[in-house]
Amino acid sequence: MQMEDLTKTQLVLLALLVSVVSSIATGIVTVTLMDQAPSNVIKVLSRVVERKVEVPTENIKTEKQRLSEAAAPIVMKEEDLITAALAKNSKTLVRIYENGEGAGTFVGLGVIIDADGTVITDSSVINSDRMYGGTLFEGSRKLLSLVRYNPKEKTALLQFVQGAEDILGADTGVVAFPAVTFADPALFKIGQTVLMLGGDTHNDAGIGILANMQYAETGKGTAGGEESLLVGLGTSIRTDGATGAPLLNIHGELMAVSVIGATNNPGYIPVMAIAGQLREFHTEGIAVYKNTLPTVSGAENTTSVLPQ
């Protein structure tokens, strides 16, 4: 029978037969050659085969690990949050000096609470008849102007005086100061971690817990009850006695400012009072009440400077 006489089915079967015979012949030849080959050649061939099999497996495993690491959430440790909070707010800390001979007298700490350079501090360290300067984080000292002060309140506002050299040195012509971010008082909880940033000559950090919260009745309640206002905080932190220092949460937000209290255990004015004082300054302007003339009974004669 001639090839031309084969049907399509017979041609396919013939091709399969030739393929099977070729495979069998190839296998026989390979086995024969391997039996006759030196042992060192067989070892080399085995290593090549093993490497060709292993390398892709390792690559696939590594790629899976990469995908798993990329999909895993980033978890911030409390230690990392604390160090970041302290580093961020070290730029908002101000050391306040009473102007005088030489370097002046250190009176306390302050915290920058807006980009205009407004500083909050303990009012008990401020005398309305004196001039003050503030040292910034990079070491420069600038003049401070008293803008909101009442001896009956426990905090006072000062503001950096922007000179011509400051304005000319700024790219936009406006000097912007690093300022703290206010915390939400609704999130304050007894036992939460709190941080203190202080030090009269260099930065000192303190860590503790929020130990207590003091409230006062406002008399504005409805339905037979009275509304309570948070007026003070207490912590487990012991300080070096420098007042006016910021109390922060682990996210670096301002919770309160320290004021003179018991030895090594200051009181803290919460952020709501600070925000209210800043708001009054922005809407009403400067208001400074002076204490200069003591009376016979020891009380102070208070005169006021009207808001501008």
Q: How far apart are CA 41 and CA 231, in angstroms?
A: 88
258 and 247 Cβ atoms separated by less than 8 Å: yes
Confirm whether 86-169 and 181-288 share one CATH topology. yes
Encoded tokens for 116: 């205009």
* CATH class of the domain defined by 181-288: mainly beta
Domain ranges in the chain are 22-67, 86-169, 181-288
Superfamily, domain 86-169: Trypsin-like serine proteases (2.40.10.10)
Mean pLDDT in consecutive groups of 10 residues from the start of the chain, 308 residues: 69 76 74 63 55 49 64 73 94 93 87 96 92 92 93 91 63 77 96 93 91 84 69 86 89 94 72 95 91 43 43
Dihedral sign for Cα 259, 262, 265, 267, please. Answer: negative
- Given this model, what pLDDT does residue 169 score? 53
- Given this model, what pLDDT does residue 223 score? 57
Encoded tokens for 74: 């980033």
- Given this model, what pLDDT does residue 175 score? 75
- Given this model, what pLDDT does residue 24 score? 81
Return the SS3 of 306. coil
Owner of token pair 């099999």: 53
